[in-house]
Amino acid sequence: MIALFRRDLQLAMRAGGGFGLALAFFLIVVTLVPFALGPDRETLAAVAAGVLWLGALLACLLSLDRIFALDFEDGALELLATAPIPLEGVAAVKALAHWLTTGLPLTLAAPVLGVLLSLPAGAYGWLTLSLAIGTPALSVIGTFGAGLTVGIKRGGLLMSLIVLPLYVPTLIFGADIVRRATDGLDPTAPLILLAVITLASAALLPFASAAAIRINLR
């Protein structure tokens, strides 16, 4: 499992792995927002929390298809399925590798982009914290979506259609933390609920992902 983890990280980091692409996408989305809404600082500050969360979510979504697609095409996924480690473990490790190469960089970049959108000073810590807690859930749920659609040619759009509704609760709680912090309210309640979603999906969804991959490999 550690070997698989290292391999996934290396594949993502090296050329063609698309490691920086999600970050670049996040930057572009945030840059486009003032063009759409106008450069007024107060308007931007009011929507900054939601825009940052939405941008991170979309950047995460766009990088999902690399989790299984390449391994499925060259047959590595079938080798993994017959390997002594359970497929549930493979799904969990792949989600973890996806988070380390996508969710974590997004979390670290978000405060910098928050400056561009003039996010209020009190919200930066909460923004980083909420993304750090919430993005693992996005990776785990996304791994399920990727496993479900791995056998379908040009399944990217279909995967978005399936995965985005599943992202709704995570987005609601995650963005609510930052919004409450922006308004000077206490954000602990949504923080706890977000942590519940992350922990529960990390515990349960690898089983569903593995089931979906088994069906697709049949």
Partner 1 sequence: MSLWEYANPVKFMALSGQVLPWVGGLAALCLGVGLVWGFFFTPDDFRQGSTVKIIYLHVPSALMAINTWFMMLVCALIWLIRRHHVSALAARAAAPVGIVMTLIALFTGAVWGQPMWGTWWAWDPRLTSFLILFLFYLGYIALWSAIEDPDTAADLTSVLCIVGSVFAILSRYAVNFWNQGLHQGASLSLDKEENVADVFYIPLLVCIAGFVCLFLALVLLRTRTEIRVRRIRALEARSRMA
CA angle 51, 209, 191 (to 5 degrees): 40
Nearest distance in Å: CB 150, partner 1 = 10
Measured from the CB of residue 161, what is the shortest distance to partner 1 in angstroms? 5
Residues between 152 and 181 that touch partner 1 (CB under 8 A): 152, 155, 158, 161-162, 164-166, 168-169, 172-173, 176
Distance in angstroms (rounded) separating the CA atoms of residues 158 and 160? 5
Query: Cβ closer to partner 1: 83 or 215?
Result: 215
Least spacing, CB of residue 140 vs partner 1, in Å? 11
The token pair that represents 67 in the structure block = 């989790």
Does residue 142 interact with partner 1 by CB under 8 A?
no
Give the binding site for partner 1 (CB under 8 A): 144, 148-149, 151-152, 155, 158, 161-162, 164-166, 168-169, 172-173, 176, 190, 193, 197, 205, 208, 211-212, 215-216, 218
